[in-house]
């Protein structure tokens, strides 16, 4: 009887473990989150492909001799393509995921100088969007990819900023690198962090996990219950927009 009881306990433990593992795996509830993440990555991929990049075009940009823009943008293009592929691979594991059919518009990049400046603003915005997106899932596999992509695009932004800005880390900073909630990113306007007029309506903002509201502040984020969806979007957007970021490049106006 003791042996049977022990087997029963092991079976119950196995069921509990299976349930725990299942709750941590990407699920259909992550489909909207991953579709939004895919749109961010694909938008940057398309931006770098809208202008034929060549050495002659980029040589006219300020500080090109030190920045080596042409080979570095070739590498950034490749990394953005890999990022899009990574999101696509993640989406293939999730029931209900469909790569959005997006028709983007882009900021004007008639000169090499404007192309580089726009790239800095877009890279820093997408980095902040991925930072916030890590708080919109309970699946480690999903949040890991957003963290990795946030680091990737932050690295791109710092490279660009180092060739455009004099001071990258102001001494009076009151916040960390900004995080932009999906609702804020998808809204229209020229403020930093807003891409709505370029992304169009191909994706919608995913809801925060746990049925709560994710409030984004200058140093961290807090989940709070019992707040309407509209209030959640407005509050999260307001906090993410008002937070004073550390890097000076993240303070740039959006075009």
- Per-residue confidence (pLDDT) for residue 240, from 0 to 100: 46
- Per-residue confidence (pLDDT) for residue 158, from 0 to 100: 95
Tell me, yes or no, whether 231 lies in a domain: no
| Structural domain total, the chain | 1
- Per-residue confidence (pLDDT) for residue 1, from 0 to 100: 47
Tell me, yes or no, whether 229 lies in a domain: no
Regions in the chain scoring below 50 on pLDDT:
1-20, 236-245
- Per-residue confidence (pLDDT) for residue 214, from 0 to 100: 86
Tell me, yes or no, whether 230 lies in a domain: no
- Per-residue confidence (pLDDT) for residue 36, from 0 to 100: 97
As a whole number of angstroms, the distance between CA 9 and CA 20 comes to 16
Residue 119 structural domain: 28-166+176-224
Backbone φ and ψ of 60, nearest 5°: -80, -5
Cα separations in angstroms, 13 against 4, 6, 22, 215:
14, 11, 14, 36
- Per-residue confidence (pLDDT) for residue 116, from 0 to 100: 94
């Amino acid at each position: 009887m003791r042996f049977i009881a022990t087997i029963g306990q092991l079976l119950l433990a196995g069921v509990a473990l299976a349930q725990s593992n299942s709750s941590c795996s990407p699920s259909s509830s992550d489909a909207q989150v991953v579709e939004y993440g895919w749109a961010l990555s694909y938008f940057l991929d398309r931006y770098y492909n809208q202008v034929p990049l060549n050495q002659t075009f980029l040589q006219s940009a300020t500080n090109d001799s030190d920045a080596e823009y042409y080979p570095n943008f070739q590498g950034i293009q490749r990394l953005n393509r890999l990022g899009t592929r990574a999101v696509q691979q993640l989406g293939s594991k999730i029931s209900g995921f469909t790569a959005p059919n997006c028709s983007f518009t882009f900021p004007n990049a008639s000169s090499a100088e404007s192309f580089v400046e726009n790239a800095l603003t877009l890279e820093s915005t997408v980095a902040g969007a991925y930072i916030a997106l890590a708080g919109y899932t309970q699946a480690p596999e999903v949040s890991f990819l957003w963290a990795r992509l946030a680091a990737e695009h932050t690295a791109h932004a710092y490279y660009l900023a180092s060739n455009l800005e004099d001071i990258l880390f102001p001494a009076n900073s009151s916040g960390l690198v900004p995080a932009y909630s999906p609702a804020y990113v998808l809204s229209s306007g020229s403020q930093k962090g807003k891409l709505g007029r370029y992304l169009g309506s191909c994706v919608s903002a995913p809801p925060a996990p746990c049925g709560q509201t994710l409030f984004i502040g200058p140093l961290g984020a807090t989940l709070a219950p019992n707040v309407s969806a509209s209030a959640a979007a407005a509050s999260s957007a307001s906090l993410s927009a008002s937070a004073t970021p550390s890097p000076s490049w993240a303070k740039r106006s959006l075009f």
